[in-house]
């Protein structure tokens, strides 16, 4: 639906991540004059997982209200709603694989055996997105007037992570603090396997995985208990 129904929707789907990286690429290489090594690919390694997370949060915050007509007419397992938000965005996220491959070709970065870590990195990214989805779905339903603020806070996490600059360019001790941001781990894990050709550091997978577990432990039981009463708020 997001990309329309015509034949151009595939093109729109593929161009979406390119457009986002393009904006940041201009910012880093032209305005800030800090090109670094393969800046486009380094940025893509951050933008790709970030897009999944931020779009999942955006989708999930409105997911319950968007299904109002179904919720008020049909009894079904509403626990699936945030999961469907994450799955939808994961499908859109597929276009990002083309972006990563394109950037590798542009900068002449050859694929290595480290790419075998990709399923694990994707699984951690997906787990974090699902955790965010349950928390965001409740937040969006409970505090609809604060949705914009919530989205801004998630976007701020990008700039509190090594998104535009690599983590080795962040001075100590700030680099240690930055590692507590789950997005930092995701960004660095993608950079390790795509850009550096090395296995991701343990912290880069464990921190976002821990954050995912924490979010699910907090939000999922509340969502499951509260979902039976959603119609009272929507009706």
Partner 1 sequence: MSDAAIVAEGLGVRFLFDRHRRPVTPALARLRRRGEERWGLRDVGFRAGPGEGIALVGPSGAGKTTLLRAIAGILPADRGVLRVGGRVTTLLSIDAGLLSPLTGAENAELLGVLDGRTVRAARAQAGAVRRATGLGEEFGRPVASWSQGMRARLGLALAEQGAPAILLLDEVHEALDHEFRAVLEEHARALLAAGGIIVAAGHDHPMLERICERGLLLRDGAIAADGSFAAVREAYVG
**Member of 3, 13, 67, 218 binding partner 1 (CB under 8 A):** 67
Distance between CA atoms of 201 and 55, rounded to whole angstroms? 26
Q: Are 194 and 186 in contact (CB under 8 A)?
A: no
Count CB neighbours of 204 within 10 A: 25
Q: Applying CB under 8 A, does 9 fall inside the site for partner 1?
A: no
Distance between CA atoms of 193 and 179, rounded to whole angstroms? 18
Shortest Cβ distance from residue 222 to partner 1 (Å)? 5
Each residue 74-103 as x (binds partner 1 by CB under 8 A) or -, in order, gives: xxx---------------------------
Shortest Cβ distance from residue 66 to partner 1 (Å)? 8
Q: Applying CB under 8 A, does 228 fall inside the site for partner 1?
A: yes
Q: Considering beta carbons, is residue 142 or 159 the nearer one to partner 1?
A: 142
C-alpha 92 chain-centroid distance: 11
**Member of 11, 26, 32, 72 binding partner 1 (CB under 8 A):** 72
Q: Are 70 and 76 in contact (CB under 8 A)?
A: yes
Q: For residue 37, what are its two tokens? A: 């090594």
Residue 148 CB partners (closer than 8 Å, separation 6+): none
**Member of 7, 73, 172, 202 binding partner 1 (CB under 8 A):** 73
**Member of 71, 126, 136, 216 binding partner 1 (CB under 8 A):** 71
Q: Does residue 173 have a cis bond before it (omega within 30 degrees)?
A: yes
**Member of 54, 55, 130, 138 binding partner 1 (CB under 8 A):** 138
Q: Applying CB under 8 A, does 65 fall inside the site for partner 1?
A: no
Q: Considering beta carbons, is residue 64 or 164 the nearer one to partner 1?
A: 64
Number of residues that bind partner 1 (CB under 8 A): 23
Count CB neighbours of 179 within 10 A: 19
Q: Applying CB under 8 A, does 214 fall inside the site for partner 1?
A: no
At how many degrees (to 10) do helices 39-61 and 147-159 cross? 160
| Contact positions vs partner 1 (CB under 8 A) | 1, 67, 69-76, 138, 141-142, 222, 225-226, 228-233, 235
């Amino acid at each position: 639906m997001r990309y329309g129904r015509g034949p151009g929707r595939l093109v729109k789907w593929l161009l979406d991540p390119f457009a986002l990286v393009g904006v940041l690429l201009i910012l880093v290489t032209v305005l800030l004059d800090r090109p670094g090594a393969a800046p486009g690919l380094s940025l893509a390694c951050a933008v790709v997982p970030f897009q999944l997370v931020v779009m999942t949060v955006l989708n999930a915050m409105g997911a319950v209200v968007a299904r109002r007509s179904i919720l008020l007419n049909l009894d079904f397992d509403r626990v699936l709603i945030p999961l469907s938000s994450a799955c939808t965005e994961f499908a859109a996220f597929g276009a990002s694989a083309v972006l990563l491959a394109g950037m590798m070709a542009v900068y002449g970065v050859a694929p290595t055996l480290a790419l075998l870590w990709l399923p694990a990195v994707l699984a951690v990214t997906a787990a974090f997105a699902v955790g965010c989805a349950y928390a965001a779905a409740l937040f969006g339903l409970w505090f609809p007037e604060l949705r914009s603020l919530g989205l801004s806070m998630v976007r701020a996490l990008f700039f509190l992570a090594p998104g535009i600059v690599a983590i080795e360019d962040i001075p100590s001790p700030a680099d240690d603090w930055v590692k507590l941001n789950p997005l930092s781990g995701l960004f660095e894990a993608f950079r390790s396997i795509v850009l550096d050709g090395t296995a991701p550091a343990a912290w880069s997978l464990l921190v976002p995985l821990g954050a995912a577990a924490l979010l699910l432990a907090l939000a999922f039981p509340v969502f499951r208990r509260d979902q039976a009463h959603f119609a009272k708020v929507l009706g």
